[in-house]
A and B are shown apart, each in its own frame.
Chain A
Amino acid sequence: MTALTNHAPVLLIAIPLLGAFGVPLIGKLGRGARNTFVGLIALITAAFAGLLAATVFARAGAPGLYVLGGGGFGVPLPSGLSVPIRIILEADGMSAFMALITALITLTGAFFSFSYWKDRSGGTLFYSLLLLLTAGIFGMELTGDLFNFFVFLEITSIAACGLIGFRVWLKNAQEAGFKVMALYTLSGLFVLLAVGLLYGQYGGLNIAYLASALTGSTIDIVALGLLLTGLALKAGAVPLHMWAPDAYGEAPAPMSAVLVANSQASLYGLFRILFTLFGLTISVATLGWILVVLALLTIFVGVTMALIQNDIKRLIAYSAVSQIGYMLLGVGVGLTVSVAKPDYGFVAMQGGIFHMFNDAVCVGLLFLVGGVITRAAGTRDLNRMGGLAHSMKWTSVLFIIGAFALAGVPPFNGFASKFLIYEATFRLSPILAVVAILSSILLLAVFVKVFQAAFLGPRQEGIGGEVPAGMMVPMVALAFVIVAFGLFPGFFIDKIVTPAANALWYGRDAYIGLVLGGG
């Protein structure tokens, strides 16, 4: 058991990666064998994520180091100097928190797909790409090396675009695939250029080593700008959001949910770079305000664009874009005041980070419900739907839960995190809280419109019918998480959110010290 716990970080990446290449082989044995294999891989991965989270949160989010190939981190030269060049993984509270989100979303996505793709072809490579994407996301969240971060970023880009565009018979999916891949590649190249700039100055790629060496020179600022642009693009923050509605809207329903987890991994990378890599070597107040402005734009543009959509998947996609803004807002407010570190800054961080989890679950549920009702109604156009509540009672209840939670209505989980964000941002500037609250109300209006259009109205003959258990169980599981986190937010904030926020807010020295000694 200890061996498994010790090796959990690398197994989290290795198992889905090997599984991805095993799927086409097992697929030759038939669908049943393939689905069992994929389900098993997803379950084992989720179990390791749980194990990793349990160990990290048991030591209150303190970072843990995993060195590939064993032994110490430094490699001694003949001269006696020890050079930090080993490949390392480093998991602290924030990484473990993100790993939990990823595990939950990919697990539900995989199990939902078993039923969703039952009658469709192309399933085997679809699961292959899904596992590859999972491996890439875990890699981004756990790596302690900036170049490996770039490699995992590109793995997620390629796998994600494969998932968006693999249905080659759909016109729009091809258009979306091209657009998203082009922008993802550009964002990856920005990150690579920044990595090169930092390497050229300090001769290292390790995040902890770079963090200890950074001086905040002009080239560092340029590198930070490139990283910020690249990762904000990949996370889908306005004004670089134009790919997001296409990607979420055109991907198959269970994959839209996983793509949101993928965007959040880029957001995690952004936070890791701002708090751990750069820390206080840069002007955090300026940078924090940049994040806050981006966040307000994202929230506002996302919600208003959602309001005018008639395509249900694009509508949910835009509301997913707006939620990225709330996370940026919470953490941005925290960054702005991270020199003085007042209490409300920490509350803002908790709110922003807690909202990552809540958003993944709520948006995940909404995308799954969106897929179900699109299939039942045979159209994605809200104006041509109607009356689905007659034949799909449980689905409509699940939709209400997801929509209310995302719009921040108590007693669901979205309220818990948004309330923390409102409360803390109000202390920095009341206008931030006003925009955030107004946008949440608008979001509620958006979902009332969807509910009215899709579920209410006279019964339509020949459509609908409750979904099979294979799709219902993952949706109910997500709804259960939403309600549980909404009813007992204090428990979850204490256990998993606070260690994650601590790791970003106070954890820089511990993160560096663990690798370089001392600290």
Chain B
Amino acid sequence: MNIGNLPFVVAALLVVLGIYTFLFKRNLIKLVIGISLVETGVNLFLVTLGYRTAGIAPIYTFAPEAERMVLPTPQALTLTSIVIGLATTALLLSFAVFIHRHYGTLDVRKVKELQG
């Protein structure tokens, strides 16, 4: 089935949604969710870049002759990016946990001792 440019549109939507969340939400956990959304959008964009209509997985062993393969590089990039995303999200959430422990709140308006 040809889905055209739909995945690119969805990726762009996810990125915009994520940036909106990051800029306008006041809860630290929601900020992390926003960052995750941007990340997912970028990952989707990368996977879509390598997609070929009716392509098969890029594995050479037992590959049928003269089939189109999807590009392997963007998939490798996406995997790397997912792993990095896991690390950053974990670090961000643990900072959020400690902030909650110290300040007793997750509201960004109340967590602002560092200003000016």
List residues of chain A with CB under 8 Å of any chain B CB. Answer: 85, 147, 151, 154, 157-158, 161-162, 165, 168, 171-172, 174-179, 181-182, 184-186, 188-189, 192-193, 195-196, 199-200, 205, 245-246, 249-250, 305, 308-309
B43 CB, nearest partner CB in chain A, Å: 9
B48 CB, nearest partner CB in chain A, Å: 9
Q: Which residue of B lies closest to A195 (CB)?
A: B77
| Pair A172/B114 contact, Cβ less than 8 Å | yes
| Pair B88/A185 contact, Cβ less than 8 Å | yes
| Pair B39/A189 contact, Cβ less than 8 Å | yes
Please report the C-alpha to C-alpha distance between residue A205 and residue B114 in the assembled complex, in whole angstroms.
39
CB of B16 closer than 8 Å to a CB of A: no
Which residues of chain B come closer than 8 Å to A175, judged between CB atoms? Answer: 99, 111-114
| Pair B73/A162 contact, Cβ less than 8 Å | no
| Pair A192/B42 contact, Cβ less than 8 Å | yes
Which residues of chain A come closer than 8 Å to B15, judged between CB atoms? Answer: 193
Please report the C-alpha to C-alpha distance between residue A345 and residue B45 in the assembled complex, in whole angstroms.
40
Contact of B88 among A151, A157, A172 (CB under 8 A): A157
Q: Which residue of A lies closest to B49 (CB)?
A: A200
Which residues of chain B come closer than 8 Å to A309, judged between CB atoms? Answer: 116
Q: Which of B52-93 contact A (CB under 8 A)?
A: 73-74, 77, 80-81, 84, 87-88, 91-92
Please report the C-alpha to C-alpha distance between residue A168 and residue B88 in the assembled complex, in whole angstroms.
17
8 residue pairs bridging A and B, Cβ less than 8 Å apart: A158-B88, A178-B95, A178-B96, A181-B91, A181-B95, A192-B42, A193-B42, A249-B114
| Pair B114/A192 contact, Cβ less than 8 Å | no
Given contacts A174-B102, A250-B114, A186 and B91 within 8 Å (CB-CB): no
Which residues of chain A come closer than 8 Å to B114, judged between CB atoms? Answer: 172, 175-176, 179, 245-246, 249-250
CB of B24 closer than 8 Å to a CB of A: no
List residues of chain B with CB under 8 Å of any chain A CB. Answer: 15, 22, 28, 31-32, 35, 38-39, 42, 45-46, 49, 73-74, 77, 80-81, 84, 87-88, 91-92, 95-96, 98-99, 102-103, 111-114, 116
B19 CB, nearest partner CB in chain A, Å: 8
| Pair A182/B92 contact, Cβ less than 8 Å | yes
Q: Considering residues A154, A162, A192, which has the most beta carbons from chain B within 10 angstroms of its beta carbon?
A: A192
| Pair B95/A189 contact, Cβ less than 8 Å | no
| Pair B22/A171 contact, Cβ less than 8 Å | no
| Pair A192/B73 contact, Cβ less than 8 Å | no
| Pair A151/B80 contact, Cβ less than 8 Å | yes
Which residues of chain A come closer than 8 Å to B32, judged between CB atoms? Answer: 182
| Pair B73/A168 contact, Cβ less than 8 Å | no
| Pair B46/A196 contact, Cβ less than 8 Å | yes
Please report the C-alpha to C-alpha distance between residue A85 and residue B114 in the assembled complex, in whole angstroms.
46
Give the top 5 A-B pairs by smallest Cβ distance, nearest first.
Answer: A178-B95, A171-B102, A174-B98, A200-B49, A154-B84
Which residues of chain A come closer than 8 Å to B74, judged between CB atoms? Answer: 196, 199
Instruction: Given A171-B103, A175-B99, output 12 extra A-B contacts at Cβ < 8 Å.
Output: A147-B80, A151-B84, A174-B102, A175-B111, A175-B112, A175-B113, A176-B114, A177-B91, A181-B91, A182-B35, A182-B92, A305-B116
Which residues of chain A come closer than 8 Å to B80, judged between CB atoms? Answer: 147, 151
Which residues of chain A come closer than 8 Å to B73, judged between CB atoms? Answer: 85, 199, 205
Q: Considering residues B74, B84, B102, which has the most beta carbons from chain A within 10 angstroms of its beta carbon?
A: B84
Q: Considering residues A196, A199, A249, A308, which has the most beta carbons from chain B within 10 angstroms of its beta carbon?
A: A196
Contact of B116 among A154, A182, A308 (CB under 8 A): A308
A401 CB, nearest partner CB in chain B, Å: 29
| Pair B42/A178 contact, Cβ less than 8 Å | no
Please report the C-alpha to C-alpha distance between residue A481 and residue B43 in the assembled complex, in whole angstroms.
45
Which residues of chain B come closer than 8 Å to A178, judged between CB atoms? Answer: 28, 92, 95-96, 99
Please report the C-alpha to C-alpha distance between residue A200 and residue B45 in the assembled complex, in whole angstroms.
10
| Pair B96/A199 contact, Cβ less than 8 Å | no
| Pair A181/B38 contact, Cβ less than 8 Å | no
Which residues of chain A come closer than 8 Å to B31, judged between CB atoms? Answer: 182
A303 CB, nearest partner CB in chain B, Å: 15
Q: Which residue of B lies closest to A173 (CB)?
A: B98
Given contacts A175-B111, A205-B73, A181 and B92 within 8 Å (CB-CB): yes
Q: Considering residues B73, B95, B98, B99, which has the most beta carbons from chain A within 10 angstroms of its beta carbon?
A: B95
Which residues of chain A come closer than 8 Å to B42, judged between CB atoms? Answer: 189, 192-193, 196
